[in-house]
Amino acid sequence: MSFFRFIVPVFFLISIFVASNAQLSATFYATTCPNVTEIVRGVMEQTQRSDVRAGAKIIRLHFHDCFVNGCDGSILLDNATGIISEKDAAANVGAGGFDIVDDIKTALENVCPGVVSCADILALASEIGVALVGGPTWQVLLGRRDSLTANRTGVDSDIPSPVESLDVMRPQFTNKGMDITDLVALSGAHTFGRARCRTFQQRLFNFNGSGSPDPTINSTYLPTLQGTCPQGNDGNTFENLDKTTPDNFDNDYYINLQNQEGLLQTDQELFSTSGSDTIAIVNRYASSQTQFFDDFASSMIKLGNIGVLTGTNGEIRTDCKRVN
């Protein structure tokens, strides 16, 4: 199907429903850049050999991009005239992977210049990055276009903080058309990658002003974290998000939650919030990696469909850091 031949009234109606699957296609670049997947995979494979966190970095960028103004590549923009970068928001400070996106973009521009969007790069590279470390695969729908602006304030309101309660996280997901299963499944992306001390050290010594550690942290896990992040540290030391298999994509994350060994407060809240419907989902994923993989793949497709720009909306950036 061509996305450029709708008459104006029909296109107007379709552009309202930008989250519809009809806007994207797995074969969008079949004629304009037929080797797009192989090119992205080649860069990801090369990067993965020197940086085991490559996939985790990219999928975080994709999630943070999609939750602010939709999957439009806005997170990749630097500060410029009329643009206040999302990179400077608290939730994105220290985020990695921007250099990986630039490398992928350069490789694609050398083969099919001006064709593949930065937003699509994030979607494709996320799937490839997960698959490279043992995770599921899914059909990546393509055809997103890049935004002309960023939304700095939207990061603070729309991206879950690592210190949120489940009651705060729920509406952040439902407001994007995601349900509680999506919340628990996508949190499973924390089965690989690292987090800085500043994202969880509030749990270690004086949780919520109590003068004591977070009681939902396993007592044998707590000293390990306190050793990594002693009181008064600068908050920049890294700890594995998954204590058992930190560089593999598997369901150990959920087993860790059952053992009260989730690193972030937002992780452990999924299992330790009394009476929550998330507990049964955690238990299901802990007992079945296949179920987790199936649901994660479905949720990633759903995530990648949030607020996409298509048709004549937005542009195809030649440099992901700036508008054309």
What is the structure's pLDDT at 13? 33
What is the structure's pLDDT at 291? 98
Q: What is the chain's pLDDT, residue by residue, as a tens digit (324 residues)?
A: 333 333 333 333 333 333 344 489 999 999 999 999 999 999 999 999 999 999 999 999 999 999 999 999 999 999 999 999 999 999 998 899 999 999 999 999 999 999 999 999 999 999 999 999 999 999 999 999 999 999 999 999 999 999 989 999 999 999 999 999 999 999 999 999 999 999 999 999 999 999 999 999 999 999 999 999 999 999 999 999 999 999 999 999 999 999 999 999 999 999 999 999 999 999 999 999 999 999 999 999 999 999 999 999 999 999 999 999
CA 151 – CA 153 distance, rounded (Å) = 6
CA separation, residue 176 to residues 48, 99, 188, 302 (Å): 31, 28, 18, 10
Q: Is 239 annotated as a binding residue?
A: no
Cβ-in-10-Å burial (0-12, 13-18, 19+) of 270 comes to: buried
What is the structure's pLDDT at 18? 39
Q: Is 106 annotated as a binding residue?
A: no
Q: Is 70 annotated as a binding residue?
A: yes
At 251, list the tokens: 């369901």
What is the structure's pLDDT at 157? 92
Q: Please calculate the CA angle 1-117-156 and round it to the nearest 5 degrees.
A: 120
Q: Please calculate the CA angle 237-241-247 and round it to the nearest 5 degrees.
A: 105
List, in sequence order, every residue forming a beta bridge with 322; answer none if it has no partner.
Answer: 319
Q: Is 72 annotated as a binding residue?
A: yes
CA 38 – CA 112 distance, rounded (Å) = 13
What is the structure's pLDDT at 124? 98
What is the structure's pLDDT at 218? 98
Q: Is 295 annotated as a binding residue?
A: no
CB 206 within 8 A of CB 229: no
Q: Is 288 annotated as a binding residue?
A: no
What is the structure's pLDDT at 8? 35
Active site residues: 64
Q: Is 245 annotated as a binding residue?
A: yes
What is the structure's pLDDT at 5? 32
What is the structure's pLDDT at 22? 47
SS3 (DSSP) at 56: helix
- Spatial neighbors of 81 by CB under 8 A, at least 6 apart, are none
What is the structure's pLDDT at 94? 87
